[in-house]
Chains A and B, each alone.
Chain A
């Protein structure tokens, strides 16, 4: 149990386009989901906290208009990178806060912006 999926696992896009990443909790309901960014050989950096049915809380320095987060249901949160630029290329990871008071992590999405 407690599986979190992300889709797509890998995406390549042109500069200026928008990319949507989905995060789903497959077998549990997640009132809270988190979005992280991980640069090569670095730790996870929390971008935002997303609660179902309410606006996301963004960490300092994260542009909310650039990284749009929607948490429309207890099993789905989406991150949309708007007008992507090469510096947005990174590994994006979501996690879902579950019934065992634990965060369960998705496998991550590799975004490459050309």
Chain B
């Protein structure tokens, strides 16, 4: 079975502070990991995926297979980063995604 855990439902930081949104997963094979973001009143959109190893809007995430984690990081948070963030996993056998419970990030001025 595949499972994604985001331990923090709410995370609040001040503008300019570093932010880390935690994501842990369990999967028996080699998964693909994603971060999706949902801004207020908008649809869910892909932020980044581990195989791309890219930085989007200053966010990065590294897949740590030893710790089965895929934490999302940004060195200097901005107010516009306030949103709901979902970590998601996709197994190698198909295209379905398993989502974590989500973390609501609030960046205070």
Q: Residue-by-residue, is B37-65 near A (CB-CB < 8 Å gives 1, otherwise 0)?
A: 00000111110010000000000000000
Query: Does A103 count as interface, using CB distance less than 8 angstroms?
Result: yes
- Chain B residues with CB under 8 Å of A49's CB are 94, 96
User: Are B86 and A32 within 8 A (Cβ)?
Assistant: no
Q: How many residues of A contact B (CB 8 A)?
A: 19
Q: Which of B14-22, B66-74, B99-107 contacts A (4 or more CB under 8 A)?
A: B99-107
- Chain A residues with CB under 8 Å of B95's CB are 32, 97, 101, 103
- Chain B residues with CB under 8 Å of A32's CB are 95
User: Are A46 and B96 within 8 A (Cβ)?
Assistant: yes
In the complex, how many residue pairs between chain A and chain B have their CB atoms under 8 Å apart? Answer: 38
Known: A34-B96, A103-B97, A105-B44. 9 other contacts (CB 8 A): A34-B97, A42-B101, A43-B100, A49-B94, A93-B44, A104-B46, A105-B43, A106-B43, A107-B42
**Contacts A/B (CB < 8 Å), 26 sampled:** A4-B43, A34-B96, A34-B97, A42-B101, A42-B102, A43-B86, A43-B99, A43-B100, A43-B101, A44-B44, A44-B86, A46-B96, A46-B98, A49-B94, A49-B96, A93-B43, A95-B44, A97-B95, A102-B49, A103-B46, A103-B95, A104-B46, A105-B45, A107-B42, A107-B43, A108-B43
Binding site for A on B (CB under 8 A): 36, 42-46, 49, 86, 94-102
